[in-house]
Structure 1
Amino acid sequence: MSSVTPDQPRRPAGVHADARPPDRPTAGSRVPSPRHPESSRGRAPLPVAAGVAAVWAAVTSYLPVALVLGLAQLSEDSATLPGALRAGLAGWLLGHGVPLQTTAGPLGLVPLALTVLVFWRLTRAGVHTTRAMGARGRRSPRQALTAAVAVGIGYALLGVLAALLVGSGSGLGVSPVRAGVSFALVGVLGALAGAVRTTGVAGLLAEHAPGPVRDGVRTGLVAGLLLFGAGAGAAGLAVATGGGDAADMIGAYRTGVAGQAGITLVSLAYAPNATVWSTAYLLGPGFAVGTGTAVRTSEVTVGALPAVPLLAGLPSGPVEGLGAALLAVPVLAGMAAGWLLTRRLSRPTGEERAEPGWPALLGPAAFAGPVAGLLAALAAGLSGGPLGNGRLAEIGPVVWQVGLVATAVVTVGALLGAAAGKLLGRR
């Protein structure tokens, strides 16, 4: 007869004392759970998931525009709710790069703050569609592209519908074909940004990319962000200096508190545009605020300007004296990016620091210049546009000039910063 103790309970006959259930891991061992393919039962079809995600992205990006433009129209006696909603649709289309045809000419100056909001909401649409497909973490480029295209198709249909609604009951002319193409492009790009992150394709691409290319892209993006940060600081300082003139411009509209709040919010929607223009000013090429005008560090030629609060911070003349130190800001941004590259590549391994060789360091630093130049050129192209056929038909920087100068400046600055970081690191 077998004895039974508190720490050894009775077991059925034929079962060994050391036998354990095969599906239970021993204490202290970590057994990964097997991955089973996700069941498609209860999952929404791809067209439904992509359509719902596209509609939600459109609604959440349209409502702020309708609210802001509704506030701007509250002071008008003829303002109606349908008119405010239609004006919101027009501004929403403009935020996607769809020009509006008015009696004074085309209106194509895109509010980049709205564009950023739209792109972010489409990124979330790509995330939700990818999850609905069951492709989360699958690292499948095909599934990521499928989700992005599905969202883009649904979003393009919404753009065509918005163009028809705006053009049917107002004096504005909008091309439905142009709206469909623009919405499809923005929808696919935004959803793809969210899909590649959710599916893990972004990590897959980073793993297969050569190390110098990966480090160069990262350094170029850092340098570009530092350039735009410097531009934002300069633009904010200029607007703060001319704050009195900006307040007088807002008060001259005589639209009441709600109308003035709407005008202020519309001006803030163009704050990223001013950031890009200020960056172009620091780089040297500058920007235009009308046909035959130029705003550069060496020249300021402007004529009569519209009463827009954002233009109150324009410089009154060329840079002189201590202001010439602004020309060194882009080079310092490139040097900071190169310094950070050296710090990142010189990670400690054990008790010693793994010092990178000159080719492994200078190659990514040189590649960072074209990356930052491409980013600056893209931002410059998006920030400009016409405000009619008259004198304001040309607003914004020249794209190729900004891209070329940014490439040269960041390349030189990143090389100097990387070399300085390596030499000082030895000491």
Structure 2
Amino acid sequence: MTSLLSAPRTRPVDARHRRPLWVAAPVAGVLAGLVALLPLVVVSLAGWYLADGGGHGAPRDALRVGALAWLAAHGSGFHVQGAAVTVLPLGLTLWSGWVVWRTGHRLGDAVSGHGPDADRIADGERDWTVPLATLLFAGGYAVLGALLTLAGDARTAPDGSRAVLVALTLAVLVGGPAIATGSGRLPVWVATLPEAVPATAAAAVAVLRWHLLAAATLLLVALALDWPSAANVMSQLGTSPSGTLSMTVASLVLLPNAVVFSGSYLLGAGFTVGTGTLVTPMAVVLGPLPLFPLLAALPDGGEPAAWTAYLLGVPAVVAAVGVIRAQRRHPTTRWDQGALRGCVGGALAALAFGLLARLAGGAVGPGRMQHVAPFASSALVYAIAAFGIGGLVGGLLATAWQRRRARASSPE
């Protein structure tokens, strides 16, 4: 807290910074939920109008679809003609998380002048501004989620309690750091941590980011190679403008899920697209599949080409690259520190990917399509091995390079 103690805090005087914390925080939480909801409602209204010029149904039906999409982004699931759809549309979840971050960051700036000043902090007074703002912000966001559960009925049957719980969790885990960053507290707190903590966290983030980038590249290449198949799917559906819009939106919101599936494939754990199916670099067993454009990226059934086995080395390589790049910002010349940061960072990235793999799957329809998911447990085990080894190698290589630079720059 040294930067807070260096000088008395200057409090902003504009109206936005004078708002009471107990008012500004819950209002910001509700606003974050509404901003995330707005484009979903707009797309739903557009689809309703394109279907038949608004000749059937009413605008409130489209509004209900937008609310159900918001709830699905927070894990509620829903039912279509009695079949459960429990898969989490990660595209919508990421959109909601981004809105929560931006709104939380603005809230943090608005409450930056609240709390004790430097003199009172020096006297030992606790600064509860960020925790209190986070709880109030999350409460407002969750209350909006509870109100949106009224959009469900006996036919759609979303799990409202789960949606509220996920909304509360998202607002705390994403909104809390955003508020701390916007208020200027987070850099102060990070400065008090041992250097190994932010360095290891940076390595973990870099490893996860590079692995997801490699997975996205593989997915896009597979789609490009089988683009005629994807176009053929759309032509077979013979969709109207409303159907085309719905199919396009569904593909976009499920694209992050497909990237996670691709990441599990790269690790060798693979995934299933229906009961009794298997897709890995070593074996592909498929059954009848629904008409959906993203499924065109699936490899052909049977024994894969021999070169696909080399894909299993990609996760370790990208983990090493991620750690090397992260260590540029957190240099060290000690072998033990470089090795530990890389290895632990890789393990943390593996845990994060295992969680993503757990969230990315679920039921997408009746019958055998009730099981469409990466093999999350296997992906976690394989990721710990691949990211841990790759991170260790990357940490040692980065340390060797930084030791060499240190010797070259030291005076004789």
With structure 1 as the length reference, what TM-score do the two structures score? 0.82
Bigger CA radius of gyration? 1
Counterpart among 327, 352, 370 of residue 347 in structure 2? 370
1:307 equivalent in alignment to 2:308: no
1:131 aligned partner:
109
Change beyond 3 A, Cα 1:356–1:87: same
Change beyond 3 A, Cα 1:183–1:342: closer
Give yes or no for contact 2:114–2:129 (8 Å, CA) kept in 1: no
2:51 counterpart letter in structure 1: S
1:50 equivalent in alignment to 2:53: no
For 1:83 and 1:345, the matched residues in 2 are separated by 53
1:107 equivalent in alignment to 2:85: yes
Give yes or no for contact 2:108–2:181 (8 Å, CA) kept in 1: no
1:414 equivalent in alignment to 2:399: no
2:43 counterpart letter in structure 1: V
Aligned runs of 1:307-346 on 2, under 5 Å?
307-317=291-301, 318-346=303-331
1:142 aligned partner:
128
1:161 counterpart letter in structure 2: L
Counterpart among 75, 94, 111 of residue 97 in structure 1? 75
Structure 2 stretches lacking a partner, 5+ long:
1-5, 406-412
2:36 aligned partner:
61
1:152 counterpart letter in structure 2: A
Change beyond 3 A, Cα 1:96–1:219: same
Counterpart among 128, 152, 155 of residue 166 in structure 1? 152
SS in 2 for 1:288: strand
For 1:309 and 1:41, the matched residues in 2 are separated by 50
2:167 counterpart letter in structure 1: F
1:266 aligned partner:
250
For 1:407 and 1:136, the matched residues in 2 are separated by 43
For 1:164 and 1:366, the matched residues in 2 are separated by 47
Change beyond 3 A, Cα 1:330–1:136: farther
Give yes or no for contact 1:220–1:371 (8 Å, CA) kept in 2: yes
Identity rate of aligned residues, in percent? Answer: 30
Q: CA deviation at 1:233?
A: 0.4
SS in 2 for 1:255: coil
Change beyond 3 A, Cα 1:67–1:302: farther
2:179 aligned partner:
195
Q: CA deviation at 1:38?
A: 5.3
Change beyond 3 A, Cα 1:92–1:360: same
Q: Deviations over 1:153-181 (max 9, x none)?
A: 111111111111232xx721124333322
Structure 1 stretches lacking a partner, 5+ long:
1-31, 347-354
Counterpart among 196, 204, 222 of residue 220 in structure 1? 204
For 2:69 and 2:294, the matched residues in 1 are separated by 18
More helix, by proportion: 2
For 2:94 and 2:211, the matched residues in 1 are separated by 18
1:280 equivalent in alignment to 2:256: no
2:39 counterpart letter in structure 1: P
Q: CA deviation at 1:303?
A: 1.0
For 2:355 and 2:381, the matched residues in 1 are separated by 12
Give yes or no for contact 1:126–1:191 (8 Å, CA) kept in 2: yes
How big is the alpha-carbon RMSD for the aligned residues of Structure 1 and Structure 2? Answer: 2.7
Aligned runs of 1:203-242 on 2, under 5 Å?
203-242=187-226
Counterpart among 363, 375, 384 of residue 386 in structure 1? 363
Q: CA deviation at 1:41?
A: 7.8
Give yes or no for contact 2:284–2:304 (8 Å, CA) kept in 1: no
Give yes or no for contact 1:72–1:260 (8 Å, CA) kept in 2: no
My pick for the range that moved more, 334-343 or 382-391, is 334-343
Give yes or no for contact 2:268–2:280 (8 Å, CA) kept in 1: yes
1:119 aligned partner:
97
For 1:394 and 1:141, the matched residues in 2 are separated by 48
Q: CA deviation at 1:373?
A: 0.7
For 1:407 and 1:203, the matched residues in 2 are separated by 30
Aligned runs of 1:20-31 on 2, under 5 Å?
none
